[in-house]
Each structure stands twice: as C-alpha cells, then as structure tokens.
Structure 1
Amino acid sequence: MSQDRAAGGRMGDSSLLRRLNHAAALSAFLEADSLTLRELRAVVGVSRPTAEDLLSELLAEGRVEETAPPRQPSEARSAGRPARYFRFRAESGYVSGLDIGAHKAMAVVTDLRGRTLATHRVELDPDLPAPERLQAAVSAARSTWTQAHLRAADITGIACGVTGALRAAEGVHDVREGPFGSSLAPYSLPGFTEIDVAAELSTRLGQPVAVANDVKLAALAEHWKGAAQDHRDIVYMFAGHRAGAGVLIDGQVHQGRHGAAGEIGVFPMLGWETAVARLHARGAVLAAEQGIEPGREGELVITSAARQDPESLAALIAFTEALARGAAVLALAVDPEVIVLGGGMSRGGAIIAEPFRRELAKLTLVPLEVITSAMGADSVALGAARMALDTVITDLLTVPGS
C-alpha cells in the first residue's frame, strides 16, 4: 500500500499527510546524488501527481534544482526523450563549526552536504580571558563566512566544541561541577566556568549555538571524514595538551545521562593528571632550553624522545601508558570495533602508538585494532560542523504533529 493511501487512511489528515510526504521526498533527495521523477515516486511510494506536486514544492522552496543527468555509457542511452534529473541543493544552507581551545580558536563553514568551504584559525594565549577568547572564535567564524562569500543570514546552524562543555540529556549546557565538587574535565579554559558559553556565543553570532565537549566532537569528525569512516563502534582517545576520550556507538556520540560518558580522566587511579603534568613539565624545560614559546611542549618531548633522551622518553611512555589504561577501561565497557588515537601528539607516529598498543594489549581481553587519526588540527571544528549539520537536517525532516 502506498504511503499516501496508508497514512491517509490511518490519520485522515490530508495536511499532515502532505507534510509527511514532503519530508519523505526531501529525505530521498538527501540520500541520493540525483533523482528522476519516476525514482522519486518509487522511493516515496506515492502516485505520479503527488510526486509532481512534491517536486514542485521542493523546487519552489529552493531545496531542489534540476541537474545534469549522471554519465552513462553511450550504449546504455535509450532513444526518446531523456529523463530529467534533480538534486538536493547543498547550497540552500550552511553550517559553522567552532573550536575554542587553550592555544587556538578555529572555525569551519560547510554546505549542507558537509563540503568544507573555508576555515580560519587564530593562535591564542593560554591565559587569555574568556570574553576575548570567545570573541576570537566569533571573529574566526565571521572570517570563514567572508571567505566563502556568505552572509550571516545564510548560516542555518552553528555548533562549538569547548573543553569541559558537555551535552546532557536535558539539553546543551556547560558542566560546572562534577562529583565531590571537582570539574568533570581534566582541563578547563580560563573563566569559562563563570560564563554561559552557549548564550554568549549565541548573542555574539546572532543565532543559537550548540556547545559540546571538544573530544567527543573530534571523535565524531573521525567517524565522518577520518580514519574511522568504516567503523560504527569506536573508542576515541585524545592525546594533546591534555588527555581525553569519547565513545561512538553505532556512529553516534554516546553522551550518557549527564553528558559525562567517556570522562574517565577524573578517575585518579588512571593517573592521567600526573602523566600530563609530567609531560608538560619536561616540555617546559625543553622549551626554556631552546628559547621556544610555550604551546609546543608535547611536540618537543616527542622530538627529544625520538633522539633517545631518557627523561623525555620516560615522560612520553608514562603518558601513553596512562592513556592506554583509560582506553582499556572504555574498551572493556563497550567492546568497540576500533580504537582511534587522535589529538596533536598522535602524529608523533610509532613513538606514541607502539607503547600505547603494548600497554593496551596487556589490559584487554581480545586484540583490538588501534588506528592513528587521519584528521589534522581542524577535527574539533569539523565535528562541530557535523553536529550542526545533523541538527539542521533533523529540523528539515521533522514533521510537527506526526
């Protein structure tokens, strides 16, 4: 039975039926590179006149446009009038993804197919006050819009990744205090616990901004465009200026009841805080010796360890083993397909990956594949763009009253 007849008989509401068919038609275009009228009718399950009406509506809304037919071998072309093809207009909306970190603010803008149109990065002082840090992110976002020749009105969704900002089941908010009055994140940006990050960004950018944990967004980006595209159940370990973790189940970020899923760094027995402090202390010594500005401690330790400096090597191994212990805890809990090692330090290669793998193998029940991130420094911003894109698409396909 066709969707329009079945739904009509069940609900007796032609207005609701039209909206349901409209959403189904838009969903069909989103899932295909292009469709003919006949293909649209088959996918949605409606009569030809209904399919024609739906196509006309989508064309009038600017969500769909006629496009060139896909290339076919000459022998496959049939005589007679060629079919007309239509495609979803990815440029009918745009989303922004922001990343606010200790040392940088970064923004990316994509169309509704997720194609990156522009990126912009600004280096920041780790001690920069919260208002200036937020403004840097806002300026970065506006810069990408300018680069992509977009107006603020063209942006249909914005999301931002921030250290310590977690998304709970009740909505998006900043987690201020965790159990026993301690922060849920092992590191927080200066002044960010005293402000409402989402509200501040929304005011400055002129539309709602969703805020989520940066490591979880990096994991989402890895699944979307990185090394984990072929996997659905993922444990993502972040190794950078700090340690962090995120879990994807069936391709979706697992938030947990209070948005704290994966925040295992607060567990003292893992030793993350001590290992990170030791790594940064060694990096600070190396930076001072070489006259280098702070911010590259991890990179300096990796380089020094590769030259077999015993203090750097010991600090690095302690850090990777502590990270592996956390990965083992999550792996035993969720039994993932793969573990992704991401963050800036993951680009250190075997000197990071091998001690991580060795320690992980000691602590898990089954062998687990460990892959190194294919994403660069824009992973959090891209993950935020993916989050904004998912929200926009969901809104487009939601049928009130259904």
Structure 2
Amino acid sequence: MANYAMRIMRLHSRLALPLAGSRSHSFHFHSFMSRSFSTAQSYQAVRPQNSLPAAYYRGGTSRAVFFKQHDLPKNRGEWSDIFRGVIGSPDPHGRQLDGLGGGISSLSKICVVGKSSREDADVDYTFVALGIKDDDVDYSSNCGNMTSAVGPFAVDERLVDVQTTGSDNTTTVRIHNTNTGKIIHSTFLISDDGSEAASSGEFAIDGVSGHAARIQLDFVDPAGSRTGKLLPTGNPVDVFDGINVTCIDVGNPCCFVRAADLNVEANITPDEIDTHPVLLSQLNSLRRQAGVAMGIADSPAAVPGSVPKIGLVGPPATNSRAISQNQTAETVDLLIRALSVGQPHKAVPITVALSIAAAARVPGSVVAACVQQELVDPAGITVGHASGKLLVGAQFESDGRLACATVYRTARRIMEGRVFWK
C-alpha cells in the first residue's frame, strides 16, 4: 500500500498538482487516499468461499451434484441456500455459469444420500430440483434418471456393504426415496476388484453417447407416490379446457394429453414446442388444473413446478421425420414428448415413462388409445421420445394392483472432491 501511495505522490508531482496549500486539493487527495485504504481493508476482510465434499454423477439422461447426508447441516432449513449456490441459481441469464448447473432442468439437480431410516432399504435418497432463473428449490418429486446413479454412489462412497450375487458380480442396493416414500431396487455390476460400481459395459441408452454398464431399476409398488392412488381423480379421463387428460401417479404424478387434441404432431421436437406460440401455455394450464384435480394443491397457482409432469402422446407416426427418427409402428408402441419444470425434455423423465407404461394398461385412458394392439417387445411398452426410445415394463397383479415397474439405465461417476459456493 505504501508503494501505491508513493506512485500517487509522483503523479501529483509530474502534473504539478499541489499536495498541500489549497484546501480543496488537500481535501480531495486525502479523501481519495482514505477511500483507497478503506477499499483495501474491506477486501482483506472478505471471507473465503464455503465448501463441502461432493460428487458429480450422470444418471440416465440427467446429471446432478451428490452429497452424503451427514456432510450437510442437520438443520434442513439451511440446505436450500447451499444448493442454490452450488448449482448457480437463480441466474437471470438462464445459464448457471457460476455453478454446476447446465441451464436446463435435467442438469439443475441435487441428490442427497445417507444411511436408511427404514429396515426395507439400504439408503435414503432425497432428490432436489432447482429453478434456473428463479430461486425455487423443490423437494416434491423424485427423478427416475438420477435414481439410477444412487446405487453406484452408495457403493462408491462405501455407504453400503457390497454383497454380490451370481457369476456376473452384480449387487442390489435398496433405495428409499424420501420424496415419495417409495422403494426402488437398483441392480448393477461391480468392478472386478470390488472397489466401485462398474461403468464400462455394452449397454446403450438413447440420449447418451457410447456404451456403459446396465443398471436395472425396479420400482416396487410405485402407484400413488404422492396421491396414494394409481388414478388420483378416480377417472381414466378428465376434461380440462375442453381437452381429454389422463391423470396417473406412478413414481411421480403425471398427466397425459393427445398431441392431436392440441393440433400438433406427436413427434414434434423440443425446439418446436419451445417456439410454438401457444403450446407451452396450453400445457401449463392443463397441468395446473390436473394438479388441483389430483389433490396436489388447492389452486392452479399453488401447483408446484415439478409435479404433476405432463406429456404429449400419440401413436407411432408415418411421416418422413418418424422414419428418420426410427420411430415407426415397427419400432415403438407410442410417442411421448414430455415437459419437466416447464421445459421440453430432450428425452423422457423415467417417472413419466413409468406412468406411461401403467397408463397404457388402463382401459379408456388417452395413452391406451394410442398404443397399438401388438407390442414391439412383449417385455413392456417401447416409448419413442425426443432422443430415441425406451422400453418400460409394468407388472400388474390379478387384482389390478401395479406391483412393479422396471426400466434400464446407465450411470457414471464424473467427479468427486469438494464443491465451492459463495
């Protein structure tokens, strides 16, 4: 700082500016120097950034920051500010450049994993969706894609004792999702040395480049995750704004509408949904009315951004785009274009796919009306989404109860260390 003052004095000397004499010059000079010293002192007083141990995982077609629950404050009221800082929200520019978010809903996520509070599970898992331009921190729903990374994270972080079965060195982690109260069994390979969840393999999912180790997710008794019922309104079809809508709750509350009823093609692209003059507002209106009818909120304005999720459905298309996308009647059973937190999803949320598979088996639903009689794969419903296709299985008991829904994903640890936020 002394050197800085000497440079100022030499500058005054070169410019023939008096350092004393005139009261005005003396006043301005000493005021300037006082502000400079004050600024330096306040700069030295700035505290360092906050940090916590964390990891970054891809799960299915999403990514999220993972925390071990015991590393976070015991007071959950303190979590939200941490998560906003880590992800970089709110960001009026919508890019989350100052955090680990990616500017789209599938990349603006947090997962918290710890020892389970239930005897029928190995770990507790809490999913958190964060707004991008706003400060919303939403604990109201699960993310099926990120669920695929929970088992591998639990193994990688030694939160569970690994017990492999069979000759293929697989293990199963029983996951209790605290958002929905539901149990998911995650079955996957362990590396040959037993040190971590396997990442290399020959399984591929649409929307993610390359191949990886397959992860089987069995959602046990998944109906009524939030509402307690497979059909929360009691009806296979309800009418909102003059449009037929099916409301169903499997993994997450969802609602489905035929694309044709909104005068669009079922294989419309996410960009076309985004730029359509009225489609997003129409879908938001239907979603909010469905949320009230499902008992999620008392008014449309109070319906959270994450649930119910909404999707446009339709039968396999025959146009040239469907052929180029490999989404014809020979390759998929129906088409879905899903929205997540108000944004068109680049693929399909897993919980939406689970609801689709169940709704396809509900007579009279808008989904069942779109599914062709003979399935492409008898193991389940093959869903055509914006990035490819996905096979989803749904097992019903003889009494009509949905016993289990199954989907296959991949996941991978990308980074671990410490994450910083201001």
Instruction: Please tell me the TM-score bracket, short chain as reference.
Output: under 0.3
TM-score by length of 2: 0.25
Structure with bigger strand share is 2
Over alpha carbons, which structure has the higher Rg?
A: 2
TM-score by length of 1: 0.26
